[in-house]
Copies of this chain bind each other. A is one copy, B any other.
Amino acid sequence: MKIAYAQMKIAAGHPDLNTKKILQFINEARSQGADMIIFPELAISGQMLGDTFWEESFMRDCELCGEEIIEASDNITVIFGNVSLNWLEKFNAIFVVRDGKLIAAPVLKTFLSREEEKYFYDPTNTISATKFKLNEKIYRVAFSFDAENPHNEADLYINFTDSQFESIKSISHETYYEFAHPTIKIGSVGVQNMSKKIYTFDGGSAVFNSRGEVVQIAEPFAESLNFIELDEIDKMPALKLPEVSEADKIYRAIHYGVKEFLSQIGMSKVVIGVSGGIDSAVAAALYVQVVGAENVYLVNMPSKFNSSTTKNLSEQLAKNLGCKYFVVPIQESVDWTVKQLESAQIEVSDFVKENIQARDRSSRILAAIAASVGGVFTCNANKAESTVGYATLYGDSAGFLSALADLWKFQVYDLARFKREVIPQGIIDIVPSAELSTAQNVDEGKGDPLRYPYHDYLFRAFVEENLTPEDILKLYTSGELEKEIGCEAGLVEKYFPTAQAFIADLERWWKQFTVMGVAKRIQSPPILAVTNSSFGARQESQNGVHFTKKYFELKDKLLAK
């Protein structure tokens, strides 16, 4: 039996477009002599649809599309995912059809994700092997939805695990799987989003033999129609899979994600504020690769605090990239704003003046340029800044998309290494600084209050491991902190000579994370995720800061020493 499997790009929310594509793939597979073709789960609707799943007319539209596919199944067995309704419940279902009709009861998928639980009824367990006759032979085809085969005997397993890219997964995901039967794993590619979450789907479609070895694999992040001969699967040797570094995978996912998301929202012109720092430089290099230098507008917006060092680095970056480059100073406008406020008897502090600069850049200049050229402007925040809200709301935290906000600062530097030929070395070497006051003078080596080589890892423990100051203080007390959070040995002692200094820093940033950080993230742009703990996926409350009883006990003990 010749089997086709379509790693298709799903347009979430567009059953018409997906159906058209499915019909094309069916024709292509049939013309190449396939007996069966397999599509991913929810291939007609897409997965990340949120409350659209409550629209009954949308769901019925998907069902009508499913009927078109059933009608087009002459001489080929078509296995595809779609929504399914009865008068009480909605299901995430897999259909097996041929010659215009269902040839097996729909397989009602049990939940894999919390998202699904909200919208679909859980059939508890209806998964069993489906038998059907083909070329005078009976085949038993069974379905699985997670990392192993159930124990049914079957000639073929089809595994539906359409899940978003995460940088920690191996490229084929194969290490997670325990398949003891010939198995075709089928996934989709594309970008799907909901609220602030944007996920790339890398496909991960592959064929496994009964020894659990990958014998065929589809190119990740690419739509493809693939073929395999069922009887050959167990005769095929294990494929040698390429080793891919984490930075490589992340760059590929981000590049793909930005490209597809822009195309989904119908945008191709991108405005980027460039400061001469690393984040905006990496963003600029990334977007130039995605939409071409002719569609990227780099804008440097100096105030009196910006050094010629960073102004020159920005200009050099634009030259290297071959983009349009604009210098739009903000000092006059900032001064005018302060003057207007002061003449209304409102006193404006230096700190407020810092934020006036940031908002002036994004909300006054970048938003207006983006609207004027018919494009969007970017948010270049990284995950460390986002954790503690080290950005100004409606200022540098604004933009249509945060492409780098699921990357720690060290990962942004990792990506910069891909772009050595265009990112001036000075940008990589310079101290990270917002340059919003004389206290952040880069030429004097002064910069952000964040010490990334430590704070990157501390914040990762907060965000990705759900550790709180109690846990951190326990690790600090036992001397295991650096090892546990993953930062360089000796740094804690170096940055914080006393327990008091350590605790002051810990409390400062925990408070920033749980108070201002939350308020700012609630209004931040959507985030391109490369982990399952991006801020786009978090549920956070504005409840103020809390320290546990045990934290205070540990703190008292440490300070009493």
Contact = CB atoms under 8 A, between A and B. Distances in A.
Contacts of A393: 367, 398
A115 B283 CA distance: 36
A359 interface: yes
A188 to B, nearest CB: 14
Contact of A13 (B16, B48, B471, B541): B541
B359 A541 contact: no
A175 interface: no
Nearest to A355: B371
A341 B370 CA distance: 11
Interface residues of A, number: 89
A356 interface: yes
A544 B13 contact: yes
B526 A542 contact: yes
A543 B264 contact: yes
Interface string A513-529: 00000010011111000
Given A336-B333, A344-B326, A56 B371 contact: no
Contact of A549 (B56, B61, B266, B340): B61
Which of A64, A344, A468: most chain B Cβ within 10 A? A344
Contacts of A395: 363
Contact of A394 (B264, B346, B367): B367
Contacts of A54: 466
Contacts of A347: 372
Interface stretch (A77-85, A189-197, A273-281, A478-486): A189-197
Most chain B beta-carbon neighbours within 10 Å: one of A12, A346, A349, A540 = A346
Number of copies: 2
B13 A543 contact: yes
B352 A368 contact: yes
A471 B470 CA distance: 54
A193 B100 CA distance: 51
Nearest to A16: B549
A196 to B, nearest CB: 6
Contacts of A326: 344, 346
B363 A541 contact: no
**Most chain B CB within a 10 A radius of its CB, from A360, A367, A373:** A367
A348 interface: yes
A345 to B, nearest CB: 9
B337 A368 contact: yes
A118 interface: yes
Contacts of A64: 549-550
A374 to B, nearest CB: 10
A237 interface: no
Contacts of A11: 543
A419 interface: no
B114 A50 contact: no
Interface in A385-422: 393-395, 398, 400
Contact of A522 (B470, B525, B540): B525
Interface string A524-561: 11100000000000111111101011110000000000
A265 B542 contact: yes
A539 B337 contact: no
Given A356-B368, A365-B340, A540-B195, A524 B523 contact: yes
B51 A538 contact: yes
B544 A51 contact: no
A544 B468 contact: no
Contacts of A539: 50-51, 118, 194-195
Given A57-B471, A364-B363, A50 B538 contact: yes
A466 B60 CA distance: 13
Contacts of A549: 16, 61, 64-65
Contact of A333 (B55, B192, B337, B551): B337
A336 B336 contact: yes
B55 A466 contact: yes
A332 B341 contact: no
Contacts of A526: 522, 542
Given A52-B541, A194-B539, A332-B336, 10 more contacts: A16-B546, A49-B541, A50-B538, A54-B466, A336-B336, A337-B365, A341-B372, A348-B368, A398-B523, A523-B524
30 contacts: A11-B543, A13-B543, A15-B546, A50-B538, A61-B548, A61-B549, A61-B550, A65-B549, A117-B117, A193-B541, A195-B195, A195-B522, A265-B519, A265-B544, A266-B544, A326-B344, A328-B340, A333-B333, A337-B364, A337-B365, A340-B365, A341-B369, A341-B372, A349-B372, A359-B367, A359-B368, A360-B364, A362-B394, A400-B519, A522-B525
Closest 8 CB pairs of A and B: A50-B539, A13-B543, A363-B363, A61-B548, A57-B470, A363-B394, A352-B371, A54-B466
